[in-house]
Amino acid sequence: MILLKNQQQIQLMREANQVVKQTLQLLCENCKPGVSTYELNKLAHDFIIKCGAKPSFLNYCGYPASVCISIDDEVVHGIPSKKRFIEEGQIVSFDVGAILKGWHGDAARTVAVGYVDDQKQKLMEVTKQAFFEGVNSIVIGKTTIGDLGHTIQTYAESFGYGVVKELVGHGIGRQMHEDPSVPNYGTKGHGMKLVEGMTIAVEPMINAGTDKVIFMPDGWTVKTLDGKPSAHYENTIALTKNGVEILSL
């Protein structure tokens, strides 16, 4: 069931997503060689709490941390650890969720640690642009979920990249994951239309090589099958009477 939101509810989601945005900025600023992913997770956790919000991910289906931190060939859901340290030349994806006044925000960024090679730099740029290609193509009341996914997929695949199929975007509101599912691939004209009042998380997960992934024994971390790097870029968007608004920017 699709839960449409009114202006007041979207305003509350705006506030939650601003906490997410600021948390991501803090993480990106502090993502430097030598820092542990555990320290970054604690930094984010403490900031979210200070904002009067709660981390959406902590204990969600048993997830043990407040932030997902995924490095290089990890697509998503990397678990922070005291034993894992950030290194020069890596790309690091941060996925952050926050609950404020009962409403969720959700967004992700991939950041370069110092100098990264051209392959990684291009991958990050294309993944981010794939999000904007998709979102900018939305005509409220006309564009379907299949249209949106097709636009993202076509753009990313034009660079020879793999679009992850096993993981998708989603509706969001009082719950972190609501209907509908929002794939980063699709067929034009297929699926439901995107209408006013919908709030969704659009999140391209793009691999430098194959689109195939493997799920690791920890039950969370997802890696690329061929070991090539992956990037992740996500924002929560609202479809309003004034058009599409990106709540986490």
pTM of the model: 0.97
Supply the pLDDT for residue 8.
98
Asked if residue 1 is part of any domain, the answer here is no
Q: Based on the structure, what is the number of domains in the chain?
A: 1
Model confidence at 236, pLDDT cuts 50, 70, 90, reads: very high
Tell me the pLDDT tens digit for each residue of 29-73: 999 999 999 999 999 999 999 999 999 999 999 999 999 999 999
Residue 131 lies in a domain: yes
Looking at residue 198, what is its pLDDT? 98
Q: How confident is the model at residue 180 (pLDDT cuts 50, 70, 90)?
A: very high
CA dist 216 and 205 (Å) reads: 17
Residue 38 is inside which H or E element, if any?
Answer: helix 37-50
pLDDT of residue 9: 98
Q: What is the CATH number of the domain that holds 185?
A: 3.90.230.10
Strand partners, 110: 93
Task: For residue 25, name the pLDDT band (cuts at 50, 70, 90).
Answer: very high
- DSSP string of 164-223, one letter each residue: PSS--EEE-SSSSSEEEEE-S---TT-SPBP-TT-EEEE--EEESS-S-EEE-TTSS-EE
Cβ-based burial of 59 (10 A; exposed 0-12, middle 13-18, buried ≥19): exposed
DSSP label at residue 161 = P
Answer for the pair 146, 172: CB distance below 8 angstroms, yes or no.
no
- Distance between CA atoms of 95 and 167, rounded to whole angstroms? 14
Average pLDDT of the segment spanning 167-188: 98
| Residue 247 maps to a domain | no
HEC sequence for 59-108: CHHHCCCCEEEEECCEEECCCCCCCCECCCCCEEEEEEEEEECCEEEEEE
Separation between Cα atoms, residue 107 and residue 232, nearest integer Å: 10
- Expressed as residue numbers, the domain containing 23 is 7-242
| DSSP-derived secondary structure letter, 57 | S
Is-contact 171 2, C-beta < 8 A? yes
pLDDT at 100: 98
- 40 lies in some domain: yes
> Residue 124's closest CA among 201, 30, 208, 214?
208
Mean pLDDT estimate for the chain: 98
Is 109 inside a domain boundary? yes
Average pLDDT of span 103-114 = 98
pLDDT digits (tens, 9 = 90+) for 119-129: 999 999 999 99
Measured between alpha carbons, how far is 74 from 221 in angstroms, rounded to an integer?
7
What pLDDT shows up at residue 31?
A: 98
Mean pLDDT of 80-89: 98
Average pLDDT rounded to a whole number, residues 219-240: 98
Show Cβ contacts of residue 140 under 8 Å, excluding neighbours closer than 6 positions. Answer: 194, 195, 196, 239, 243, 244
